[in-house]
């Protein structure tokens, strides 16, 4: 209800205003002094009382918490203030030492305690673990959803424009009654699928890869905007602060050659080799400069960038919130291997994923594993260790690769290459959400 004297809002159920003492049931007019008066109110002369005494005919709206100096309106209260320490104005009845009303010190009035928001319950370790797995799985599904949308959309558009004559050809084979057997239907659909697959060129596969990468980055940007977080904080895409990151590119090239040697030495089954070649046979067969540039951008730049944003910037950081670093590194590396499909690619991609995750932990930014990953992929286009290479060329390449890999890895491992910056007396949080203490760069926690 609203007081007719001070026009303040108070809870229902009070008989007197808790701010000025006006009775809510008294409709008599209130005489107000001029604006030059100190207390703003004119006390009726018949209501003047002694110190701390009750004014005649006026019930006390508050508990007497002490002596009031002077009767009537504007008596100076000598109390200790409102119990919940809410600051009041000059004429506030809870303001200890301020102006009381009707000769009463109103600091003894009992008020409800202030609102205290509920304390958020801390998650148990198992809840944090499964929550981290769930968030990581969502980004894993986002990655494949973007690829699936682009792949099927591209195939649908190409099929709709290329195979009108193909459908007309089989219309003549359908009987007049419109019925065909299940075997005939499966044969027609199988031939259609084979023709679509055969007509897809290497350029088509590279365009699909490039478009899906762009769509994934857009999806991550939209997700960050919906969470009201910067893109760099959402994906770990922070700038590099050391020149030693340049060593990651030759390290990636050297690792590619060493992995190629190990893969060729393992006696894979013929079925595994055929599956691997069927997935990656489009790489390195572009015809013309335009197709080659598209393949370099799709395979060597955009592919590594998107995979690092997803598997290190999003999946690893979410896993790290609910489990130790080692477990998060292993799980994110396994997810990275699964994204490559066939078993041979899964094996070497998982090992590469361990290196990339360690690089992210070391440098604390996605740009570091991106440079390593880019060097690994672009090494496929360096004309070394081909089928027509001589044994001497292969041996020289492997020896040089081993030396470069050991030298670059040693410098990186033994150096402090994290994104640290002297900030005196500041408690900071790194990209994994852990407290680092003072004198580190200020990193926002990952959510």
Domain-located, residue 154:
no
Tens digit of each residue's pLDDT (9 = 90 or more) over 125-151: 899 999 999 999 999 999 999 999 998
Dist CA 223 CA 231 (whole Å): 9
Query: Within this chain, do residues 270 and 378 fall inside the same structural domain, yes or no?
Result: yes
Ramachandran bin of 181, using left for φ above 0, alpha for ψ from -120 to 50, beta for the remaining angles: beta
Domain-located, residue 50:
yes
Query: Within this chain, do residues 295 and 402 fall inside the same structural domain, yes or no?
Result: yes
Q: What does the H/E/C string look like for 360-417?
A: HHHHCCCHHHHHHHHHHHHHHHCCCCCCCCCHHHHHHHHHHHHHHHHHHHHHHHHCCC
Domain boundary among 115, 147, 180: 115
**Confidence band of 48 (pLDDT split at 50, 70, 90):** very low
Domain-located, residue 155:
no
Query: Within this chain, do residues 315 and 355 fall inside the same structural domain, yes or no?
Result: yes
Query: Within this chain, do residues 250 and 333 fall inside the same structural domain, yes or no?
Result: yes
pLDDT at 72 over 80: no
> Closest Cα partner for 317 from 364, 280, 255, 355?
364
**How many domains does the chain fold into?**
2
Domain-located, residue 226:
no
Query: Within this chain, do residues 67 and 13 fall inside the same structural domain, yes or no?
Result: yes
pLDDT confidence of residue 59: 47
Higher pLDDT, 176 or 120: 120
Domain-located, residue 252:
yes
Query: Within this chain, do residues 245 and 110 fall inside the same structural domain, yes or no?
Result: no
On whether the pTM is more than 0.95, the answer is: no
Domain-located, residue 292:
yes
Domain that holds residue 424: 125-133+238-437
Query: Within this chain, do residues 304 and 412 fall inside the same structural domain, yes or no?
Result: yes
Dist CA 310 CA 369 (whole Å): 12
Ramachandran bin of 127, using left for φ above 0, alpha for ψ from -120 to 50, beta for the remaining angles: alpha
Domain-located, residue 195:
no
Q: Are 306 and 312 within 8 A, CB to CB?
A: no
Tens digit of each residue's pLDDT (9 = 90 or more) over 212-269: 999 999 999 999 999 999 999 999 999 988 899 999 999 999 999 999 889 888 898 8
pLDDT confidence of residue 221: 96
Query: Within this chain, do residues 243 and 110 fall inside the same structural domain, yes or no?
Result: no
Query: Within this chain, do residues 11 and 129 fall inside the same structural domain, yes or no?
Result: no
Query: Within this chain, do residues 330 and 351 fall inside the same structural domain, yes or no?
Result: yes
Within the chain, how many helices (H) and strands (E) appear?
14, 5
Gyration radius of the chain over CA positions: 38
Mean pLDDT comparison of 63-77, 115-129, 307-321, highest-scoring range: 307-321
Mean pLDDT, residues 416-439 taken together: 48
Domain boundary among 115, 141, 175: 115
Domain boundary among 80, 115, 150: 115
Domain-located, residue 202:
no
Burial of residue 272, with CB atoms counted within 10 A of its CB: 0-12 exposed, 13-18 middle, 19 or more buried = middle
Query: Within this chain, do residues 129 and 59 fall inside the same structural domain, yes or no?
Result: no
Query: Within this chain, do residues 129 and 51 fall inside the same structural domain, yes or no?
Result: no
Q: Where are the beta strands (DSSP E) in 8-103?
A: 68-69, 73-77, 99-101
Dist CA 83 CA 95 (whole Å): 10
Mean pLDDT, residues 159-172 taken together: 63
Higher pLDDT, 199 or 280: 280
To which residue do tokens 């950081």 refer?
Answer: 317
């Amino acid at each position: 209800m609203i007081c007719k004297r001070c026009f303040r809002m108070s809870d229902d159920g009070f008989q007197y205003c808790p701010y000025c003492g006006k009775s809510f049931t008294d409709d008599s007019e209130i005489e107000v002094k001029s604006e030059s008066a100190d207390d703003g109110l004119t006390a009726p002369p018949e209501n003047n009382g002694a110190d701390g005494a009750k004014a005649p005919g006026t019930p006390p709206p508050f508990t007497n918490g002490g002596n009031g100096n002077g009767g009537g309106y504007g008596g100076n209260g000598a109390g200790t203030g409102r119990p919940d320490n809410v600051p009041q104005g000059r004429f506030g009845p809870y303001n200890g030492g301020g102006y009381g009303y009707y000769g009463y010190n109103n600091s003894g009035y009992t008020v409800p305690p202030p609102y205290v928001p509920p304390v958020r319950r801390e998650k148990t370790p198992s809840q944090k673990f499964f929550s981290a797995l769930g968030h990581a799985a969502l980004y894993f599904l986002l990655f494949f959803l973007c690829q699936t949308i682009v792949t099927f959309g591209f195939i649908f558009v190409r099929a709709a424009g290329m195979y009108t004559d193909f459908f007309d050809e089989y219309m003549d084979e359908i009987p007049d009654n419109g019925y065909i057997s299940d075997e005939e239907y499966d044969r027609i659909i199988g031939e259609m699928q084979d023709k679509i697959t055969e007509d897809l060129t290497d350029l088509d596969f590279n365009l699909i890869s490039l478009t899906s990468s762009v769509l994934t980055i857009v999806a991550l940007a939209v997700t960050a905007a919906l969470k009201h977080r910067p893109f760099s904080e959402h994906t770990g895409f922070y700038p590099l602060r050391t020149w030693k990151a340049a060593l990651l590119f030759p390290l990636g090239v050297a690792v590619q050659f060493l992995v190629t040697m190990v893969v060729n030495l393992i006696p894979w089954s013929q079925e595994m080799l055929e599956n691997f070649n069927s997935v990656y046979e489009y790489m390195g067969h572009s015809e013309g400069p335009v197709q080659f540039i598209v393949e370099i951008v799709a395979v060597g730049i955009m592919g590594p960038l998107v995979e690092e944003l997803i598997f290190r910037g999003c999946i690893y950081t979410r896993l790290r919130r609910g489990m130790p670093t080692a477990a998060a590194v292993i799980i994110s590396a396994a997810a990275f291997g699964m994204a490559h499909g066939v078993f041979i690619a899964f094996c070497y991609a998982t090992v590469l994923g361990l290196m990339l995750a360690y690089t992210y932990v070391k440098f604390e930014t996605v740009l570091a594993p991106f440079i390593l990953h880019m060097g690994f992929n672009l090494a496929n286009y360096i004309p070394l260790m081909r089928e027509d290479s001589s044994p001497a060329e292969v041996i020289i390449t492997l020896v040089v690769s081993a030396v470069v890999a050991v030298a670059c890895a040693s410098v990186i491992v033994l150096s402090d290459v994290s994104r640290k910056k002297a900030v005196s007396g500041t408690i900071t949080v790194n990209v994994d959400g852990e407290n680092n203490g003072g004198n580190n760069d200020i990193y926002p926690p990952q959510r």
